[in-house]
A and B are shown apart, each in its own frame.
Chain A
Amino acid sequence: MQLAAAPHSDVNASDARRISIAQVLVYELRLRDAMSKPPITAAPTDTLRAVQHLMKARRISGVPISNGDKLLGLISIEDIIRALDKGYIDDRVEQHMTRNVITLRDHFSLVRAVAEFDRHEFGRFPVLDGNDRLVGVLTRGDITGCLMQHLERRAEEALAHEAALRAERVADDAADRVVIRAHVRTGDYDSAGKLSQRMRQVLRERGVAPEIRRRAAVVAFETETNIIIHSLGGEITATIDPNEVCIEAIDIGPGIENVEQAMQEGWSTAGRLPRELGFGAGMGLPNIKRCSDKLEIKSDNKRGTRLRSEIYLRKAGVST
């Protein structure tokens, strides 16, 4: 279990292998995100001179030749230079275009596109979709532009996220609120009670009546052990403000088959190891219920269990 120092820091981001955002993007983004579309094309019956003018007007160095969205060939700036040199610039495109054009598919990742540029040394590729329709043109410049744009967006998102965290912190401070979070791993019996220990400390520092503090600690401890024993792992949060402690747990399954049955004292589905350690008395949920001022449990057989318990700090509730 890892305890997050409340209320803001996120757990363990630094442990992940460091990969730059640009590296992630180059795998995540597809050609269709980066290519110029719709493609600027010419017809096979256009003259080479018309294509030359098109290149000049649109500042491009290659033009796919197509009939509608069917790719027929390609004219590059080198083809135009040769035509001017040899004096056939008024010929029709279809007489001189490259017909065996190497194309890329719009679902390719950008990393693959970069590899294709390195392999073929072309300035551009026509891009086809899954139905062989010409849908765009890709240059190295398109890739760079797309990466820059997405990096900028990620940077903005990160700034917005930080600002939101800061706002949350200010709100927590204003509300005199402390949030304790912990990831709970299945079978991690040694870590049971870490969150409730931290919570007890905060409640003691805040001068909460011992009877109320003990009830909150029982709920936190039983909730932690429930996740450890019965779930595939989950997260537990204790939110403490001047009025109440709210303990929330979310696990990732497999869910409680019959919540009513699980609420009965003595009912347990715990295995051998937890029983040997003194868990699995079938009293966890009944204890949680008895110590909570308000309790909600939602369990879905497929998705897991959500538990929310409130313990009021202002007035005395049930006695333990």
Chain B
Amino acid sequence: MKTPTLVKLQPLIAALRAEPLTDNLPESLTGCYISDLLSDVLAHAEPGMIWLTIQTHRNVVSVAATKDVAIVLFTCGRKPNVEIIAEAEAEGIALLTTPLTTYEAAGKLWEAGLRGENGHE
């Protein structure tokens, strides 16, 4: 596994105009993965990443916890229900929501210095 470059979270939240849904935000991120397919995330997400998705059901939390993903960012203004938010807090997963589309959000993250390292091997 590559050694991830850590990027501070606070400037990213401002750039994304993101609203935190949980109060367990990490200080930094190791990278980003984007997919709405759960098995794809299980295959490719890495610990400490932020995961962008439009899926808001409770399996998202399970998948994030399985891979030790740090934050799930729901795009296009989507929000999960309160039970799912509570579950995420119990699992130590932070949740954010942004009005931006997945593409726009990805652009903001890239601009802020959160870069991919070596693609899909």
User: Hey, which bits of chain A sit against chain B, CB under 8 A?
Assistant: 189-190, 192-193, 196-197, 200, 210-211, 214, 217-218, 221-222, 225, 277-284, 286-287, 290, 319-320
By the criterion CB–CB under 8 Å, are A278 and B36 in contact? Answer: yes
By the criterion CB–CB under 8 Å, are B42 and A193 in contact? Answer: no
By the criterion CB–CB under 8 Å, are A278 and B38 in contact? Answer: yes
By the criterion CB–CB under 8 Å, are A281 and B40 in contact? Answer: yes
| Closest 6 pairs between A and B when the two form their complex, measured CB to CB | A193-B62, A283-B39, A281-B37, A217-B66, A281-B39, A278-B38
- Indicate whether A196 sits within 8 Å of B66 (C-beta atoms), given known contacts A222-B42, A283-B40: yes
User: Out of A214, A277, A290, A319, which one reaches B59, CB within 8 Å?
Assistant: A277
Q: What CA separation (Å) do A320 and B61 show in the bound complex?
A: 19
Q: What CA separation (Å) do A225 and B37 show in the bound complex?
A: 13
Task: Tell me if B47 counts as interface (CB < 8 A to partner A).
Answer: yes
By the criterion CB–CB under 8 Å, are A221 and B42 in contact? Answer: yes
User: Out of A190, A197, A218, A283, which one reaches B67, CB within 8 Å?
Assistant: A218
Contacts of A210 in B (CB 8 A): 47, 68
Q: What CA separation (Å) do A290 and B43 show in the bound complex?
A: 9
Q: What is the distance, in angstroms, from A313's C-beta to the closest C-beta of chain B?
A: 17
| 24 A-B pairs in the complex with CB atoms less than 8 angstroms apart | A189-B57, A189-B59, A192-B59, A193-B62, A196-B66, A197-B62, A197-B65, A200-B66, A211-B1, A217-B65, A217-B66, A221-B63, A221-B66, A277-B57, A278-B53, A279-B39, A281-B37, A281-B39, A282-B39, A283-B37, A283-B42, A284-B39, A287-B43, A320-B67
Most buried by B among A189, A210, A281, A282: A281
By the criterion CB–CB under 8 Å, are B59 and A222 in contact? Answer: no
Q: What CA separation (Å) do A197 and B39 show in the bound complex?
A: 16
Given A218-B67, A279-B37, 4 more A-B residue pairs with CB atoms under 8 Å apart are A193-B63, A225-B38, A281-B37, A283-B37
User: Out of A193, A277, A280, A283, which one reaches B43, CB within 8 Å?
Assistant: A283
By the criterion CB–CB under 8 Å, are B62 and A192 in contact? Answer: yes
Q: What CA separation (Å) do A290 and B1 show in the bound complex?
A: 15
By the criterion CB–CB under 8 Å, are B39 and A277 in contact? Answer: no
Q: What CA separation (Å) do A290 and B47 show in the bound complex?
A: 17
Taking residues whose C-beta sits less than 8 angstroms from the other chain, chain B's interface range is 20 to 34
Residue on A nearest B40 in the bound complex, by CB: A281
Q: What CA separation (Å) do A281 and B40 show in the bound complex?
A: 7
By the criterion CB–CB under 8 Å, are A221 and B37 in contact? Answer: no
Task: Tell me if B28 counts as interface (CB < 8 A to partner A).
Answer: no
Contacts of B55 in A (CB 8 A): 277-278
Q: What CA separation (Å) do A126 and B114 show in the bound complex?
A: 90
8 A Cβ contacts from B60-115 to A: 60-63, 65-68, 91
Most buried by A among B59, B61, B66: B66
Q: What CA separation (Å) do A287 and B37 show in the bound complex?
A: 13
Q: What is the distance, in angstroms, from B73's C-beta to the closest C-beta of chain A?
A: 15
- Indicate whether A319 sits within 8 Å of B1 (C-beta atoms), given known contacts A192-B59, A222-B39, A278-B55: yes
By the criterion CB–CB under 8 Å, are A279 and B38 in contact? Answer: yes
Residue on B nearest A265 in the bound complex, by CB: B43
Contacts of A278 in B (CB 8 A): 36-38, 53, 55, 57, 59-60
Q: What is the distance, in angstroms, from A308's C-beta to the closest C-beta of chain B?
A: 20
Contacts of B8 in A (CB 8 A): none
